[in-house]
Structure 1
Amino acid sequence: MPLPAVTAVLLGLAGLIIGSFLAAVSVRLPREEDVVAGRSRCMSCRQPLKPWQMVPVFSWLILRGRCGQCGAGISGRYILIELAAGGVGVWGALNGQSWLMIGATALLGWQLLLIAIIDAENFWLPDVLTMPLIGTGLIASGLLAGGLPWNQIVGAVAGFGLLWLLAWLYRRVRGREGLGGGDPILFGATGAWVGWTGLPSVLLWASVVGLSLVLARLLLRHSVRGADRMPFGTFLAIGAWLTWLYGPLGL
């Protein structure tokens, strides 16, 4: 295979392009707009963007974060998502010794990035994103294992069943929803990637991230209440990514 530096550059550039698509999907999907055929438009004047205005990162910098037609400001979230996706590509290139492992890592990272963004901004885990994550996880795990990935198959079933049971118990005891309907599916999808042995680590990482967010809000003197909504899917996505990269804690 090519030198790691060459692979990292190529996947990093591919990540910037994919990140531009992910940024568009993260806006269109919650609005139920066409995520494939719909043309990219300015959110203010609704004018279609020209090809040179859609070059990842560089167009935003050249235009200084403003629309080329009406001059309205363009959110910095777009360039941040593109850079994050580019970083995932580089990370994937440096994290594997084979094309298969590199591709699997990058694919997982890009899927988790989109899921994390949408849940963080909308408190929503759409099935159209979480269900395919199960399929890609089982396929990637099977190819890497060279056979049926029993660890991941059990992980998918156990992950979904565990959070579904916790959500059911919480609803029975407290009389209200404690977890969104997409969380069990996402946790099951996580198990399809990291296996049942990685599920405790995913939950631990997710809990650490969630507690860190609560602590940060307290340090900034923001109020924290038990009824506050938290994007648990985002925390699970971070936990899944770290567990995939570094393996189950303690093993």
Structure 2
Amino acid sequence: MMLIHAATLFLLCALAALSLIDARTQRLPDVLTLPLILAGIAVNGLIFSSLWTALAGGALGYGALVALELAYRRFRGRDGLGRGDAKLLAAGGAWCGAWLLPFILLAGSVGALVYVGLLALVRQRAPDPTQPLPFGPWLALGIALCWVWRAYGPGLLPGI
């Protein structure tokens, strides 16, 4: 159990750092995302004995967002996602497993939509659609939620 706690602390600190960096610079540096992928694979191998799940999660997470990035660029003629987002989702897949990737994306997307909605209410006008919104912090939220659910199980919150 101590290893799970240490892994959780490491992951949450890394996600917090990446969120702050992305919010300020709109960049997710490889020097943090790539080791996070490797750490997720290692943690899965050590704690859950599910190395293949981590590898599949990393590959599917990266591939899904790269495909979305390329499709968006083709249809809209401009960038909508960066490769840093794809690498962060790969890290999420490596830590949480392939089956939690849809929930990571769902939690991140809902978080971003709620944020934009609240921003519109506070400013009493819609946000400028030409201004990019960093998606990394919202992906990090989804990864954190899914990791806690995976590592500690649904019994973490009794009655839910």
Task: Settle same-fold status: TM greater than 0.5.
Answer: yes
Matched, 1:169 2:74: no
C-alpha deviation, 1:222, in angstroms: 4.1
- State the distance in 1 between where 2:9 and 2:16 align: 10
- Larger RCO: Structure 1 or Structure 2 (Cα < 8 Å, ≥ 6 residues apart)? 2
Corresponding residue number in structure 2 for 1:198: 100
- Give the TM-score taking structure 1 as reference length: 0.58
Alignment gaps of 5+ in structure 2: 155-160
Partner residue of 1:101?
Answer: 4
Q: Which has the higher helix share?
A: 2
Q: 1:137 aligned to 2:40?
A: yes
- The 2-side partners of 1:214 and 1:240 are apart by 20
Structure 1 gap segments, 5+ residues each: 1-97
TM-score by length of 2: 0.89
Cα deviation 1:50-72 (Å, max 9, x = unaligned): xxxxxxxxxxxxxxxxxxxxxxx
Q: Distance in 2 between matches of 1:229 and 1:222?
A: 16
In the alignment, the residues of structure 1 paired with residue 110 and residue 140 of structure 2 have an alpha-carbon distance, to the nearest angstrom, of 13
Match of 1:208 in 2: 110
**1: CA distance between counterparts of 2:130 and 2:71?**
17
The answer to whether the aligner puts 1:245 opposite 2:148 as a matched pair is yes
Note the alpha carbon deviations across 1:169-225, whole angstroms, 9 max, x for none: 111111110101211111111100000011011001101110111111111114313
Q: Which has the larger radius of gyration?
A: 1
The residue that corresponds to 1:112 in the other structure is: 15
Taking only the aligned residue pairs, the percentage that are identical comes to 40
Q: 2:82 aligns with which of 153, 177, 180?
A: 180
Matching of residue 218 in structure 1 with residue 120 in structure 2: yes
Query: 1:227, 1:241 → 2: CA distance?
Result: 29
1:189 aligns with 2:91: yes
**1:125 maps to amino acid:** L
CA distance, structure 2, for counterparts of residue 222 and residue 106 of structure 1: 38
1:231 counterpart residue number: 134
Q: Distance in 2 between matches of 1:239 and 1:222?
A: 27
Root-mean-square deviation (CA, aligned residues, Å) is 1.5
